[in-house]
Amino acid sequence: MFSTLRTFIQDGWPVEVDASLLPYHRVRNELSCWGEGCLARGHRAVIPATLRTRVLHMAHEGHLGVVKVKQRCRDTVWWPHIDQDVEDLVKNCTCCLLSGKTVQPATAPLTPLQWPSAPWEHIQVDLCGELHGAPAHTRYLLVASKHSTTGVSPALLMIGRELKQPLDCLRAKSAPARVSPGLQRAKVQVRSSQAQMKQRFDTSRRVRDPSLSAGDWVRVKHAYRQNKLQSYWSVPRHVTQQLGPATYRLDDGTRWHLNRLHRVRARTGPASSLSPAASLSWQPAPGTEGLGVNLQHNNVCKK
């Protein structure tokens, strides 16, 4: 490809070029030839595909973040889609991931619960107690107030009447029965509130749709660690099953929400090869052993 580019730069670009050369064609007025077989965009060396991995690891030396690595590269080297390559490298760096300074798990979209078809079909309970020091009959809180979403108390929707409170015994006459506002009206109100909540949540958290599937490799972010030298991230685990819209089962039998998972590259060797140092190792591609790199002087040429 470089020989073709040199020919176009020296003799002029044709009207139509191959799709693989379009990124170079867009910046053709900035390209120049120098040395023996080298190209430059302005004062930056254009790196061939066979050397880009090595250049990226050299720019990432010291495990800098995405912004710093991009700044390093922009001063000396260039190739098409270099920014995306830098982001992929840093986000998949094991050392940076284990230190917890680069990647945070993606937030899954909010999934509202479906309206139940009958009472007791779906139960959620918030417990507060036992409250010590209180009388035996008041050691647990009884919530009988109106719900902010439905507009009525849970008891009224569940059994068609309000719960009997201690003060109700002091009534001179029995209170008239309260009529439920109707499940259909409450259902519409609940769905409207859920839609508004989902829109606010998804917008503020910049959620992403779940992209994991059975067969992917992930790391789990734990809520705590035993000491500050340990990482919050687990060893790579294999996704075996998707249990819900954003819930997955891993190969160790545990179940995790997408908000705790980060996809990593597939394992290509035993667990011992997944050490931080192993993730940064680089081997030249077949057929490129004759290519030399002298980046200390910002020169990238073919021998």
Predicted confidence band at 249 (pLDDT cuts at 50, 70, 90)?
very high
The predicted-structure confidence for 146-179, as pLDDT tens digits, reads as follows: 777 777 777 777 777 777 777 777 777 665 555 4
Does residue 127 or residue 11 have the better pLDDT? Answer: 11
Q: What is the mean pLDDT of residues 243-272?
A: 79
Q: What is the mean pLDDT of residues 239-244?
A: 90
Does residue 205 or residue 218 have the better pLDDT? Answer: 218
Query: Cα(148)–Cα(143) distance, rounded to whole angstroms?
Result: 13
Q: Any residues with CB less than 8 A from the CB of 193 and at least 6 apart, and which?
A: 149
Q: Any residues with CB less than 8 A from the CB of 200 and at least 6 apart, and which?
A: none
Residue 142: what pLDDT?
Answer: 63
Residue 90: what pLDDT?
Answer: 86
The predicted-structure confidence for 212-232, as pLDDT tens digits, reads as follows: 888 899 888 888 777 777 778
Q: Break the chain into its structural domains and give their ranges.
A: 2-93+280-302, 136-205, 217-268
Does residue 7 or residue 141 have the better pLDDT? Answer: 7
Q: Any residues with CB less than 8 A from the CB of 195 and at least 6 apart, and which?
A: 112
Residue 279 pLDDT more than 50?
no
The predicted-structure confidence for 97-109, as pLDDT tens digits, reads as follows: 777 666 677 788 8
Residue 175: what pLDDT?
Answer: 55
Query: Cα(83)–Cα(86) distance, rounded to whole angstroms?
Result: 5
Amino acid letter, 43: H
Q: What are phi and psi of 68, to 5 degrees?
A: -65, -40
Q: Dump the DSSP string for 147-189.
A: PTTTSS-HHHHHHSSPPPPGGGGG-SSPPPPPPP--HHHHHHH
Say if CB 270 and CB 278 are below 8 A apart. no
Would you call 79 exposed, middle or buried from its count of C-beta atoms within 10 A (0-12, 13-18, 19+)?
buried
Whether residue 130 is preceded by a cis peptide bond, meaning omega within 30 degrees of 0, is: yes
CATH class of 2-93+280-302: mainly alpha
Q: Dump the DSSP string for 120-138.
A: TSS---------TTS-GGG
Residue 138 pLDDT more than 50?
yes
Residue 191: what pLDDT?
Answer: 86
